[in-house]
Amino acid sequence: MASLQNLICSVSKRLVAPNHAVTAKLNGAPPSVVSASSSEASMDEKIVTKRRLALLGAGALATGLLKTSSAIAEEVPENFKSYVDAKDGYSYLYPAEWRDFDFLGHDSAFKDRNLALQCVRVGFTPTDKTDIRDLGPMDEAIFNLVNNVYAAPNQIPSIYDMQERTVDGKNYWTFEYDLEAPGYGVSAFATVAIGNGRYYTLIVTANERRWSRLRNRLKVVADSFKLSDLTA
């Protein structure tokens, strides 16, 4: 059971072969929901409809451009705590009741005390790129990232919301996705950004069955991720 939880709550550090079950293609602007398997469309129609309503209710805009000031980004809402790593140049919020833990291949991580699948983690790798936009069009880059990096061969990915925001001149992409596998599913937000010669990734996840109750709270975590200049 522990190995299953670690699998669901982890991001692969290696590229896997493309998932050949994926048939959806992005032509121009992406739809609000990108399903990675057309064969699952009828089975998941009710789930997708509920997710669309949730997105609309929360005011989410697909591929929206959000501009945020540092003053707003630094506010700590009630029931959240702030994690700041000045040495590695990033910060984010996490639920106050979560505790830190060691997560292989990541620089920092926090999880729910009782439900290990509810967790947030941050990792980074060196890059010669200077901005997240250097990866190419947002919809294409995120589609390839979820399909070829995040999804294991036995998982079917679906991408829901994509947003770009700008904080203090730095660009961030935040997106919502599901990874479906036989017997279980995980939902997540990911925020990616480039700075300090590093490609940063924050991912916050929960069991798909609990996602509707947790989504708005975990979106706060994803939207709070911010880079800073490295300290000497």
Q: What pLDDT, on a 0 to 100 scale, did the predictor assign at position 49? A: 41
Residues ≥6 apart with Cβ < 8 Å to 53: none
End-to-end CA distance of the chain: 43
Q: What pLDDT, on a 0 to 100 scale, did the predictor assign at position 232? A: 59
DSSP state of 153: T
User: What crossing angle do the helices spanning 211-224 and 45-57 adopt, rounded to 10°?
Assistant: 50
Q: Which of 7-21, 33-47, 103-117, 151-165 has the lowest mean pLDDT?
A: 7-21
Average pLDDT in the chain: 77
Beta strand ranges found along 127-197 (DSSP E): 156-167, 170-181, 184-195
Say if residue 204's pLDDT is above 90. Answer: yes
Q: Is 13 exposed, middle or buried (0-12, 13-18, 19+ CB in 10 A)?
A: exposed
**If pLDDT is split at 50, 70 and 90, which confidence band does 39 have?**
very low
Can you name the CATH fold of 80-227? Protein Transport Mog1p; Chain A (3.40.1000)
pLDDT digits (tens, 9 = 90+) for 159-184: 999 999 999 999 999 999 999 998 88
Say if residue 61's pLDDT is above 80. Answer: no
Say if residue 94's pLDDT is above 50. Answer: yes
Domain ranges of the chain: 80-227
Q: What pLDDT, on a 0 to 100 scale, did the predictor assign at position 195? A: 97
- Mean pLDDT, residues 142-149 taken together: 96
